[in-house]
Copies of this chain bind each other. A is one copy, B any other.
Amino acid sequence: MKTVRVGLCGLGTVGGGTFKLLAANEAEIADRAGCHVTVGRVGARRDRPDCPTGGVPVSRELMDVATDPDVDILVELIGGTDTALKLVRTAIANGKHVVTANKALIAEHGNTLFAEAAEAGVSICYEAAVAGGIPIIKALREGLAANRVQWLAGIINGTGNFILSEMRDKGREFADVLAEAQALGYAEADPSFDVDGTDAAHKLVILAAIAFGMPLEFDKVYTEGISAIETVDVDYAEELGYRIKHLGIARMAEKGIELRVHPTLVPEKRLLANVNGVKNAVLVEGDAVGPTLYYGAGAGAEPTASAVVADIVDLARNLALGQAPAVPELGVRTTAIARQPILAIEEVETAWYLRMTAEDKPGVLSEVASICSRAGVSIEALIQKEPAEGETRVPVIILTNRTREEELNQVAREIEALESIAGSITRIRMESLDG
């Protein structure tokens, strides 16, 4: 049997996990790949005593791995977008196939890298970059290849989902759960990418590029984090039959593509509403297949290594036969990738959850309702709570029908200008997610 040699750069959580998984399931992997898969060389910028590499030579200089003539596949697991970019480009220039788990790298530099790889006749595989161990890239690029994707919606950041799940299950506050997520190692020491939606936006733009056959346009994603979500909103949502999830949504709308990451009320009966803790899930609506959903671990050493090694097996299966991988990076031949208009968020239509603080006196609701009515916004549900002891103000919660964001902004401004409404309105988008 032939041997395919991997050059593994990075021995951190995912790199170490990948090294161990290739060793642990070596026989199964060989039976599936049709060839031996071995790590021929490791690149690590510092000592990793927790991941002994046996007899495999370790280079401090990563570029040596990318230029090693004995390496067939360069696996980039160092993260970041500076050295990683240089490393991947060097590997491509040296005729190596590349496997990476680096969502930022693909989201921000994928267009260039994919073009360079095509030029060099090599493949870049990145299953592990989105939703950890869930084979969602493969599902979109191959499993659903017969479909025009209508939309997709995903829980694609485990830390954010853990925080929202805990807030709902245990009535805890955002900051409190975030601190625990950091202690548990789910969130980074600097959790801003998890919490502000940047990480989800990186993943969303990758999913959307495949779904709609368009270039990666990370700077066009509308991104809103979860740090403003209050426990009281989680509770009112529950009362109305909804759960709040931080979703990445891409939709082929009439006038262009919607690309947005934001907290979203989802009906509690939907499977996505029942994906809890650090788990990820992506719901994809295809024109032929209808809705399909993919669920699993979105992070962690072993699940992410599972996706990295699946990519290695994909490549090795072809290398064993002396032939080229047949699936292009974005699922379509390069000349078919077409720029699409991306809708500004003001153009996007969703239903809305609105929470406001109103004077507890007659006529207030009627004022609010008439502002909505004049703007053509219909109220699907309304809760007015009893005032707390000694309070003259009450929370009012409204669910609207689907409304263009620009119109909703105008309605919100008019309501906020009412004398009987205190402060600003808390606004959360809603999606029915029915196929």
A142, A275, A307, A336: most-surrounded residue (chain B CB, <10 A): A142
Contacts of A388 in B (CB 8 A): none
Cα–Cα, bound, A39→B135 (Å): 30
Contacts of A318 in B (CB 8 A): 326
Q: Check if A288 is an interface residue, CB within 8 A of chain B.
A: yes
Q: Check if A323 is an interface residue, CB within 8 A of chain B.
A: yes
Q: Check if A296 is an interface residue, CB within 8 A of chain B.
A: yes
Surface stretch bound by B, among A194-202, A298-306, A391-399:
A298-306
Cα–Cα, bound, A216→B286 (Å): 31
Contacts of A138 in B (CB 8 A): 135, 138-139, 142-143
Q: CB distance A143 to B135 under 8 Å?
A: yes
Closest B residue to A18 by CB, please name it.
Answer: B146
Q: Which of chain A's residues 132-159 have a Cβ closer than 8 Å to chain B?
A: 133-135, 138-139, 142-148
Q: Check if A25 is an interface residue, CB within 8 A of chain B.
A: yes
Pick from B32, B288, B310, B314: contact of A305, CB below 8 A.
B288
Q: Which of chain A's residues 56-84 have a Cβ closer than 8 Å to chain B?
A: none
Q: CB distance B323 to A292 under 8 Å?
A: no
Q: Check if A12 is an interface residue, CB within 8 A of chain B.
A: no
Contacts of A281 in B (CB 8 A): 293
Given known contacts A34-B333, A144-B135, A331-B32, A289 and B313 CB-to-CB distance under 8 angstroms:
no
Given known contacts A34-B333, A147-B25, A271-B275, A303 and B323 CB-to-CB distance under 8 angstroms:
no
Q: Check if A103 is an interface residue, CB within 8 A of chain B.
A: no
A147, A289, A291: most-surrounded residue (chain B CB, <10 A): A289
Q: Check if A242 is an interface residue, CB within 8 A of chain B.
A: no
Q: How far, in Å, is A124 (CB) from chain B's closest CB?
A: 17
Cα–Cα, bound, A31→B31 (Å): 32
Q: Which of chain A's residues 96-134 have a Cβ closer than 8 Å to chain B?
A: 127, 133-134
Q: Check if A383 is an interface residue, CB within 8 A of chain B.
A: no
Cα–Cα, bound, A307→B286 (Å): 12
Contacts of A289 in B (CB 8 A): 133, 296-297, 302-303, 306-307
Q: How far, in Å, is A355 (CB) from chain B's closest CB?
A: 28
Q: Check if A7 is an interface residue, CB within 8 A of chain B.
A: no
Assuming A28-B213, A31-B333, A34-B326, what are 13 further A-B pairs, CB within 8 angstroms? Answer: A25-B147, A31-B332, A133-B290, A135-B138, A138-B138, A289-B297, A289-B302, A290-B297, A292-B296, A292-B297, A293-B294, A294-B295, A320-B326
Q: Considering the complex of A and B, which 4 residue pairs feature the smallest CB-CB distances, nearest first?
A: A135-B143, A146-B309, A292-B296, A133-B289
